[in-house]
Amino acid sequence: MKATEILMEEHRVIERVLNALEKAAQAVAEGASWEARFFLDAADFVRGFADGCHHKKEENVLFTTMSTCGVAVAGGPIGVMLAEHEEGRQYIRALRAAAERWQAGDEAARPAVAENALNYVALLRQHILKENNVLFPMAAQVIPVEEQDQVAERFEHVEHEETGEGVHEKYLALAEKLLREAGL
């Protein structure tokens, strides 16, 4: 499997969780009953899988390889992706903080939970479209074929050595739990 195919497969998992997060956030925004724990679990998924595993592969392997192959970081698509990764981290930090307040009994935190979740969902959906349709095809063009296999091998290193053995599977299970809880 090509390196970008691995990332696109991970995007599909992330998109399914975005659907669950959106459903829950819309329900909360409309005043429906929902558990704050769901949003804390969603933030854990994002921190551990989307950011900790997936974005680490992009930032530490794919983007650096593309840069080595001549793609500019500043002012180009890589710079945009990095800025969006950071924007997403800010939404998730705010989501987690609001969900913790809500779980501690502060019902006034519910709107902030919904708002940050929905902003994150909107950002990530557009971000994934850009990566799948612009950045990844660009990577396939600029990274020599023989080097693409090395990128995929370095993804394996990130997953097993840096992220940790079994962590990917743990977050896939959490994704399934979130989908069940959202009725998807």
* pLDDT single digits (tens) 5-57: 999 999 999 999 999 999 999 999 999 999 999 999 999 999 999 988 899 99
Closest CA to 154 of 68, 31, 75, 34: 68
The residue-averaged pLDDT of 67-95 equals 93
Distance, CA of 100 to CA of 16 (rounded, Å)? 24
- Length reported for the chain: 184
Percent residues over pLDDT 70 in the chain: 99
Mean pLDDT (the chain, rounded) = 93
pLDDT band at 1, cuts 50/70/90? low
The structural domains of the chain, with segments of one domain joined by +, span: 3-181
- CATH says 3-181 is which class? mainly alpha
Helix axes 36-45, 77-103, angle to 10 degrees: 150
Q: Are 82 and 60 in contact (CB under 8 A)?
A: no
Q: What is the dihedral of CA 106, 109, 110, 116, to 10 degrees?
A: -150
